[in-house]
Every structure is written in structure tokens, then in C-alpha cells.
Amino acid sequence: MKIDPPALEPGNLKKREIQAQFFAFLIRGYINALGYEKALEVASSAIREDAMQTGRNMAGKFNGNTLSELLKVVTEVWAEGDSLEFEIQEHTAQILSFNVTRCQYARLYDRLGMQEYGFCLSCNRDEAFFQGFNPRMKLIRNQTIMQGAQTCDFRIILDWKEPHG
């Protein structure tokens, strides 16, 4: 009996590269049909929806949805293969704060000539990802490398209030 080797899943940066070329093609088509602002609004909404589901999936894969598991996602998935360099500012049960100091995702979109879509395709995902990972997580971010800043300032706060419902 022949046993097939396990399929190797591409890293997160490679996934973004594969997706970017397809999404940029779609966005350009939407721009022609709907105009620039509406096209990015539609694309952003769909990308955030995908990110929310990805967050849920990652919480399952990492067997939890605390800030400690989230830090593992950032370290093991987002920063895999030196895709990101970041410095942790604070890590408690309620706050995860870090600054991204080098972002290969921004360089990827630049290299592909898609820098104008980079924020929509990548950074736009973050808040929805955190909401999917844990609905009580809130992202506060004032700047991104993708938008020309020197660093991305991630502040994720876990709201301990019980959800209504």
C-alpha cells in the first residue's frame, strides 16, 4: 500500500501572494464597473468576511482564543519565514500590544505593483480576524507600514464584559 506524503500548505505570505494577483484582477474589474471607492468597499467587505472565518478557524487550530493563543498565531503563522519582525510591548491576559517593524507583506504588494491595494488585501483583514478569533477582542491601530508609516502599532484589548444576548 502506497502512502502519499502529507500535502505541504504554503505559508501565509505565499498565500497572500497567490490571492493578491487574483484579487487585484477582480478589484480592477470592479473599479471599471462600479468606480474606485465602491469597488474597494465591496472588496474590503468580502475580505473582512473571509478574515473573520479564518480567525474562527485559527482559534480551533490553536485550541483556544486567548491573547496567548493569538500571539502564537502572530508568531507561527503571520511571521512565519520572517514575514514580519515585531516587538512585543505588552502581553497580559487582557492586552497584547506589539509593533511590527518590518513587513514582507508590504514589500510583496510593492514588488507586485499592487501597493495601492495592499491595505485592502492584508491590513484590512486584521480587525475582522481578531473578531473571528475572539468576539471580545478589539484592535486599536493608528498606523501601518502598508500606508507609509515606519511601524504598525497593534494594540489588541480583550473586553472582559459578558456579551449581551
Q: How confident is the model at residue 24 (pLDDT cuts 50, 70, 90)?
A: confident
Q: How confident is the model at residue 154 (pLDDT cuts 50, 70, 90)?
A: very high
- What are the residues whose beta carbons fall under 8 Å from the beta carbon of 139, sequence distance 6 or more? 126, 127, 130, 154, 155, 156
pTM as predicted:
0.87
The whole-number average pLDDT for the span 95-110 is: 96
- Residue-wise pLDDT for 111-122, tens only, equals 999 999 999 999
Map out the domains of the chain with their CATH numbers. 13-158 (3.30.1380.20)
Share of the chain above pLDDT 70, in %: 92
C-alpha torsion 125→129→157→141, nearest 10:
0
What is the DSSP-derived secondary structure letter of residue 96? E
